[in-house]
Structure 1
């Protein structure tokens, strides 16, 4: 299932808001996503989920709170990746996804290499 046009438009809007350095919209894992340099920050999952890379402790915190779910690729659950569903209304989704993408961007930029 492909992401909706609304989710894709929101991803582009988030990229515009967070444009404080090299941040590009492209394809990651056959899905639209954001990267800084060669590092993936976030991408859209099927069913209008935002998948973001966060520190392991923060990812576990979001999962424990029920705000996000774990990401499994193949048989492997990814420690630093969570999937965040869209909220009940577009404004709440935009606020939540933008804040988490901002966190993910800061985290990914802090990683070596």
Structure 2
């Protein structure tokens, strides 16, 4: 699966906006729900926003590694997904997590 495939899969869901056509800053290659990033393509990897405990669990299972935006400090709720087959499942989980305010 490519990031473009993932974008196609999510773009029709409620509140989702695709990555910006132009731009190079943080989040320029990101899928957003209600204006908040839930998945992005960084250095050929999918990066997703998930609850901190879930990120720890997935890192321990070898599915991903903590995401660090070149700051030297890992982001606690962000996971770099190493297992490409997990992209659709973890993107859906991130969409649900970030878009949880939509359900309230």
TM-score (norm 1): 0.74
Between the two proteins, the alignment pairs up a number of residues equal to: 97
Distance (whole Å) between structure 1 residues aligned to residue 93 and residue 27 of structure 2: 23
TM-score (norm 2): 0.79
Report the counterpart of residue 14 of structure 1 in structure 2: 9
Which segments of 5 or more consecutive residues in structure 2 lack a partner in the other structure?
Answer: none
Deviations 1:3-42 (A, max 9, x none): xxx63322323324xx330101114616422001221000
Which segments of 5 or more consecutive residues in structure 1 lack a partner in the other structure?
Answer: 1-5, 88-92
CA contact (8 A) 1:8 1:32 kept: no
Q: Which runs of structure 2 are paired with 1:1-113 in the superposition (5 Å)?
A: 7-16=2-11, 19-27=12-20, 29=26, 31-46=28-43, 48-73=44-69, 74-87=71-84, 93=85, 96-110=86-100
RMSD after superposition: 2.2
